[in-house]
Each structure stands twice: as C-alpha cells, then as structure tokens.
Chains A and B, each alone.
Chain A
Amino acid sequence: MVEIPHEAALTTASQRSQADRGRALFKSLTPYLYLAPAFLFIGVFVFYPLLRTVQISFYEWNILRERQTYVGLENYLDLLDDDDFWQIIRQSVTYLALATVGCVLIPVSLAFLSLQLRDKEVDIYQSALFLPTVIATSVIVLVWVWFFLPTRSGFANTLLRPLGLDQGQWLTDFDTALPIVSLVANWKVMGFHFLIALAGIKAIPRDYLEAAYADGAEGWALLRRIVLPLFAPTGLFLLIITLIQALEQVFIPIRVMTRGGPSNATNNLMYNVYIEGFEHFRAGDASASAVVLILLFGGFAVWQYRLLDRRVQYDR
C-alpha cells in the first residue's frame, strides 16, 4: 500500500471537493445559461424599453430635439385633466367589450354550432371563416371602406335600404364609426379564434361525454356541467389573448378607415400613443399614455385571469 503524505492527501481531497463544487455550481447554473439568450432578448427588447418609457413619461421632450425637460408628474396630471383622454379610455373599454363579443362569444358559439354540420360542410365553413385571417389587413380594410361608401350605391346602403337605414355616412358618423372599425378588426381574427375554439371542443374526451350520457345527462345539463367546464381553459385562453390584442388589432382599421376620427370618436389608448408619439412628436405625453395603458390593461388582464382561473377545470 502506498502511503500518501498527509498534506498531499488533504490537497487532493480539497481539489476534488473544489471540482465537485464547481460541477455543482455549473449544474445549478446550466438552466440559467440556457435561458440567458432569451432573458437577454427580453431584457433588451421588452424590459429596457418599458423602463425607458416610464422614465420618458416624466419629461417633456420633442423626439427630434436634444432638449428634455424634467416635468415630474405633469404629463400624467395633464392626461387626467384632459376630457379627450377620458373619452379615449371609455372608447378603449368599448373596443374591449366589442372584441369580447366578436372574438370570443361569436367564434365559440359558431364552433359549437358547427358540430351540427357534416365534416365536409365544416370544412367549407372553416375555410370561409378563416379566409379573412390570411388576407393582408390593409387590403381587407380597403374593401370595407368601399363597403361603407356613403353613397346611394354604397354596398352597406344598398343592403340596408329595404330596412329604411340607407344613406348612412358611416365612417364620419359619431354613432357608427367605432362599431364599424371594431367590426372590421374582429371579423379579421374571428376565423382564427373559431379554429382554436373548435380544437378545444374536439379535445374534450369522448368517454367523459359518453359517461355523462350513460348517467342521463343531455342537452343543456350536458353542456353546462360537462362540456363548458372542460372547454373553459380554451375559453380562458381566447379571452386573455383577446384582451391583450383587442386594441392592437384595431390599429390598422383605425389608421386606414378613420385615423381616430371623427373628432377622436374611434381613438383608443394604443392609437393615442402612436398619435402623440409619432404624429405630434410629444414623447413625454405618449409615454405617460403608454404607462397608463400598461397599468390599466395589464392589471385588468391579471384580475380577469385570477378571477376566471379559479373556475377553470384543467384536469382531463
């Protein structure tokens, strides 16, 4: 047996222990290293602009000028004091409400109704509904602009004449402009949401339904007690993405059809950020408006998620 000198033995053990610690450290860091590129990307392109937006909101700054003047909360106070801003908030909420109907309730209802159709009919139905999703938004919007031409031969006026509702000046009318813009935006994504809803319905295990049938459940009871709870995760997903995207998906229709008019009647928080930032070049006002947008709708999304998540059945 070779005797290892005491000190040498200690050194070797210490080296081994150091190597072990190094390996353990590396092992514990490995997930973070894998995540680092994504974190870096999100940090640079999401969190940094977010923090910078908050910072700019405390300044008065024309984007084209070097001069930035610290104004504290003045930009926020100006917003709160501005009647137009409150009108924009109300309109943003209206857009959300209409999007909930157009992008959640209607596609989900259509998905359930399509179960009554034969497979071939469903294919045709799906294609028809999905078509707007794959066409460029600007093209679709221009078609709708022609649809609502405020003339006697305008398509909408022609269709509505038998009901005595023709001669509308649709896009310059304060009562009709916002619903029309919202309709166009929702119509564009409705097909996509329909497909998600249909996939969610079809993913409900048949044996659950058969078991329920066997127990005598049918009709409304089957829908309410079995189908809807199992469909809830998909429904919640649709609701959350609708909430997140509602103001964004209406941006191009607003831009092309009304530019926020008539007299701000179709403006919303997101479009207002664009107008303030890139039409009026008031970076401070735009940033303050953006911060309000994030807080208001981010908070709303979290609240909605928590509220609904408690009622959602994930276990299948």
Chain B
Amino acid sequence: MRKGFAALIMVATILLGMTAAQAQEIVTIEYWNINTATFGGPQVDALIASFEEANPDINVESRPKDRYPTVVQDAQTAIAGGNPPDVVQIGWPYLNYVANTLPYVSVETLAETYGGEETLAAIPQNIYDLTLVDGEHVGLAYSLSNAVAYYNADLFAEAGLDPENPPQTIEEWTEAARILKETLDLPMIAIDYSNDNWAVENLIAGNGGNLLVCEDGSFRAGVDSAEAIEALQTWADWVANGYAVNALDQARQVFWTGEAGALFWSIAGRGSIQQNATFELRATTYPTFGDLPRRLPTGGNMLVFFGTDPVRQEAAWRFAQHLLSPEGITAWTEGTGYVPAIPSLVEDPEYLLTFYEENPIQQVASSQLEEMIVWTSFPGEDGLAAGTALFDAVQAALGGEATAEEALTAAAEEINELVEGEACSAE
C-alpha cells in the first residue's frame, strides 16, 4: 500500500514536472520592422523587453530592414521558402499588394481564435478600417505619420533668415535657399527619398498631381501630368542651383551634421533627429505650392501576421496587443514621433498630453492630420517594379541625366505597361 502510494506520488511529480517544463517552453517569434538603430530601433527593443518581461514564455526577435519595399520583398521570399515571419510592419502602399499576393492571417481570424477584442475596441473605427480590403482586415493599423519640414534654427539665424517665421510655400523655400546659399554657401534642403516613393508623392500631390489615375475602370500612370512634372522639376532645379543636396538616404546625416538648412521628412523620424541634431531643431508644416491645399500621403505601417503555427500565431497576436496598448503606443510615439493610432491618448494626462505640450514639433504633425491622403499603392504583381520605375525617374531628374518631363514621361510609359489591366474604382 505504502509502495503504491509512493509510486503514485512519483508519477504525479513527473507529470507535474512535465507540465511545468511545457509551461516553461519558450516560443520564439520574429518581428520584422523598418526600425534600424537610427530610426526607432531602440524603441522596438524597449517594447520587446517590456513585453517579454510580462510574457516570459515568449521570446521576440526583432528583424529590422531598411525600407518598406525590402520588408515586402524579404517577406515574400521567406514565405515562398516556407518560413513565414510572424509579425511584419507593412508600409501602407503595400496594403493591396499584400492582400492580393501574400497568405496573411486576417485580424478577424486571430481575434476569433485568440481573443483580444478589447484592444481592437480601443482603436477608433476609421483608423482600424485603414487595413480593410474586401471586407477583411489585412492587419492592424499601427504607425501613422505625415511629412513635416524640419529646419536648423541656428543656420537660419546665421544666414539672416527668421527662424520664428520659416518659409511656408515652395516659392518661399526657394527664396530662403537662395539666401542661405549666397550667405553661407550651404544647401538649404537635404532631399531624402527612397524607392517607396513616399517623399516624391508628398511633392507631386502638393502640386495637385497624382501618381496613379483611375480612368474608365483601369489604372494608368499620372506621373506625366503637368503638375507632377512641375513639382519634380522644382526639386531638380534646387539641386542644379546648389539649393538642395541630392543625398538619397544620406540626407538625414547631412541635415543633422548641420550642413543643410532643412529636411522634409516624416514625423516618425522626430525622435532620431532630435537625438542626433547638434543645433536647435525646429519644424514647420510641409510646404505648399502657392495657395494649393496641402496633400500629404499617410506614412507608416500596419502589423500583418503571416505565421502558420498556432502557438506562434497566438504569441504574435499577444505581442501586437502589447504594441497597441495605451502604454505601448505612448512609448512608440514618444520615442519615434509616429502619430498615435489611438488619437485620444494625446489628450490623456496619463499618457501623451504632457509630451505633446512640451514638443512643438509633434504638434506640427497633429496640425496636418486633416490634410492626409492615401499613400499610393501600385497594383498588381508588377506593382513593385512600377514603383522602381518612378524611383529611377526621380533619380534621373535629380542627377541631371534628364529633365523632369523626359524622366517622368518615360516612367509613365513603363508604369502603364506594368499596371495594364489592373482594375480600379473611380471612388
């Protein structure tokens, strides 16, 4: 009897031990993002650390990529190789591409399987629905941004420009650039642009142009319009006159080393620019073309889930809820500059109110929220190639290899071939 009891205790102990071991088994998930060391990387690491502390059974590995197209391309390769990443920051222009091309797990499926409705309920419906395609949420709206004009107040003062009244229109920026060039022999603008075409869309949209036009139910390129050509030629002239430096992705270094007067870039970079700038950093609204209304493509990204293993799926879902919690969003906005996905946090003293009151640059982005438009997505399987065609044209114009008209006309021809047959709705 005693022996039998001892055996029972042993079996129970082993079973308990096995259960405990299973409970201790750590799940590792991958979080793909565009947050390199100088663009929100430390904030991602901090958010992962706070999540892991609260969830010791989950290990999150950050996989930073440098740009949104790279994220999409690498994710496609990984998925094709049977090793899908778990949570991925997908830039807004790739929403339709991902919805039509990649095997994502919808938010509805995840919420139905693993819960988390309270997190979703806290996100305003209009923001939550930013990821809606054909009645299904492709991902969770996470990061929102718009472009602002950062400027170096010290250089302005040195050149005799008034840092209290920075230029507001393209014409005023051109004049200020001329003065800076003549007095200090420095370029005013460090032009930052990349193959996601966000920066050039800010420019073209501001002059009333569009990258794509919906005509008779099909897409065609809009980049050869007079508005687009005039806008790009403005940049090209700035470079040719020495008013701007064609620095591609070196623009931020150029600006924060104090060798250019201004940088038109995302509010999402506010944290890293503030951290690196060695001068008095200020910002004003993105310049307009004369009296034309400001039209700013919405920058940022959504969190999309590709994992197929249920255990990892659940871990990824829990991690996403942490990122979208009021605490997670507060840390994200304070560290990077992204506009919070729950805007009411800005008025909440427990979260972002004080921070916003003390950061006038952040207020500039908030003041432009009404002027945000959809960041253009080139549709279809050749959408990424169409984006490359436009990027090449911008490089050709800024490098002086072609006029804006020549470059954009050629790009439009190529884009039209690549998006041929892609249906659209005029709405």
Contact B259 A172 (CB under 8 A): no
Task: Report Cα–Cα, A281/B76, bound state, in Å.
Answer: 9
- Choose among A145, A146, A281 the residue with the greatest number of B CB atoms under 10 Å from its CB: A281
Task: Report Cα–Cα, A279/B245, bound state, in Å.
Answer: 28
Tell whether A261 pairs with B395 under 8 Å between CB atoms, given A151-B259, A152-B186: yes
Tell which of B128-136, B249-257, B318-326, B352-360 binds the partner: B249-257
Contact B399 A173 (CB under 8 A): yes
Contact B248 A172 (CB under 8 A): yes
Of the four ranges (under 10, 10 to 19, 20 to 34, 35 or more), the interface on chain A belongs to 20 to 34
Tell which of B3-11, B299-307, B378-386 binds the partner: B378-386
Contact A62 B247 (CB under 8 A): no
From 246 to 302 in chain A, residues with beta carbon under 8 angstroms from any chain B beta carbon are 259, 261-265, 275, 278-282
| Least CB distance, B134 to chain A, in whole angstroms | 19
Residues on B with C-beta less than 8 A from A279 are 69, 73, 384, 388
Contact B388 A172 (CB under 8 A): no
Tell whether A262 pairs with B399 under 8 Å between CB atoms, given A152-B259, A278-B77, A279-B384: yes
Residues on A with C-beta less than 8 A from B212 are none
Contact B259 A171 (CB under 8 A): no
Residues on B with C-beta less than 8 A from A263 are 392-393, 395-396, 399, 401, 407
Task: Report Cα–Cα, A281/B380, bound state, in Å.
Answer: 12
Contact A149 B253 (CB under 8 A): yes
| Least CB distance, B37 to chain A, in whole angstroms | 12
Residues on A with C-beta less than 8 A from B73 are 278-279, 281
Residues on A with C-beta less than 8 A from B153 are none
Tell whether A172 pairs with B398 under 8 Å between CB atoms, given A150-B245, A150-B246, A282-B385: yes
| Least CB distance, B381 to chain A, in whole angstroms | 5
Contact A151 B257 (CB under 8 A): yes
Cβ of B266 within 8 Å of any chain A Cβ, yes or no, is no
How many B residues have CB within 8 A of the partner chain?
Answer: 38
Cβ of A169 within 8 Å of any chain B Cβ, yes or no, is yes
Contact B247 A150 (CB under 8 A): yes
Contact A281 B399 (CB under 8 A): no
| Least CB distance, B93 to chain A, in whole angstroms | 15
CB-based nearest B residue for A177:
B399
Cβ of A63 within 8 Å of any chain B Cβ, yes or no, is yes
Tell whether A153 pairs with B399 under 8 Å between CB atoms, given A169-B246, A279-B384: no
Cβ of B400 within 8 Å of any chain A Cβ, yes or no, is yes
Q: How many A-B residue pairs have CB under 8 A?
A: 86
| Least CB distance, B47 to chain A, in whole angstroms | 26
Residues on A with C-beta less than 8 A from B77 are 278
Contact B396 A262 (CB under 8 A): yes
Residues on A with C-beta less than 8 A from B398 are 172, 262
Residues on A with C-beta less than 8 A from B195 are 259
Residues on A with C-beta less than 8 A from B257 are 149, 151, 153
Cβ of B79 within 8 Å of any chain A Cβ, yes or no, is yes
Q: Which of A65, A149, A173, A259 contacts B254 (CB under 8 A)?
A: A149
Residues on A with C-beta less than 8 A from B80 are 63-64
Contact A172 B392 (CB under 8 A): no
Cβ of B241 within 8 Å of any chain A Cβ, yes or no, is no
Q: Which of A63, A64, A65, A174 contacts B399 (CB under 8 A)?
A: A174
Contact B245 A262 (CB under 8 A): no
Cβ of B101 within 8 Å of any chain A Cβ, yes or no, is yes
A 137-148 binary contact with B (CB < 8 Å = 1; else 0): 000000001100
B interface secondary structure, majority: helix
Contact A172 B385 (CB under 8 A): no
From 161 to 212 in chain A, residues with beta carbon under 8 angstroms from any chain B beta carbon are 167, 169, 171-174
| Least CB distance, B181 to chain A, in whole angstroms | 11
Tell whether A172 pairs with B381 under 8 Å between CB atoms, given A145-B250, A261-B392: no
Residues on B with C-beta less than 8 A from A275 are 388
Task: Report Cα–Cα, A64/B77, bound state, in Å.
Answer: 8
| Least CB distance, A145 to chain B, in whole angstroms | 7
From 54 to 91 in chain A, residues with beta carbon under 8 angstroms from any chain B beta carbon are 62-65
CB-based nearest B residue for A84:
B392
Residues on B with C-beta less than 8 A from A265 are 399, 401
Residues on B with C-beta less than 8 A from A172 are 246-248, 395, 398-399
CB-based nearest B residue for A167:
B242
Residues on B with C-beta less than 8 A from A281 are 73, 76, 381, 384
Task: Report Cα–Cα, A232/B385, bound state, in Å.
Answer: 46
CB-based nearest B residue for A277:
B77
Residues on A with C-beta less than 8 A from B185 are 152
Q: Which of B79, B250, B381 contacts A62 (CB under 8 A)?
A: B381
Residues on B with C-beta less than 8 A from A151 are 245, 253-254, 257, 259-260
Task: Report Cα–Cα, A174/B402, bound state, in Å.
Answer: 11
Contact A264 B247 (CB under 8 A): no
B 114-138 binary contact with A (CB < 8 Å = 1; else 0): 0000000000000000000000000
Task: Report Cα–Cα, A278/B381, bound state, in Å.
Answer: 13
Contact B401 A149 (CB under 8 A): no
Task: Report Cα–Cα, A35/B333, bound state, in Å.
Answer: 62
Residues on A with C-beta less than 8 A from B102 are 64
Task: Report Cα–Cα, A294/B215, bound state, in Å.
Answer: 43
Contact A64 B76 (CB under 8 A): yes
Tell whether A169 pairs with B247 under 8 Å between CB atoms, given A153-B259, A262-B396: yes
From 33 to 83 in chain B, residues with beta carbon under 8 angstroms from any chain A beta carbon are 69, 73, 76-77, 79-80
> 19 A-B Cβ contacts within 8 A?
A64-B76, A64-B79, A64-B101, A146-B253, A149-B254, A151-B257, A151-B259, A169-B245, A172-B246, A172-B398, A261-B391, A262-B401, A263-B393, A265-B401, A279-B69, A280-B382, A280-B384, A280-B388, A281-B384
The 6 closest A-B pairs by CB, nearest first: A262-B395, A151-B259, A263-B395, A263-B396, A263-B392, A280-B385
Given A262-B398, A263-B401: 9 more A-B contacts, CB < 8 Å: A64-B76, A64-B102, A149-B253, A150-B254, A174-B399, A265-B401, A279-B388, A280-B382, A280-B385
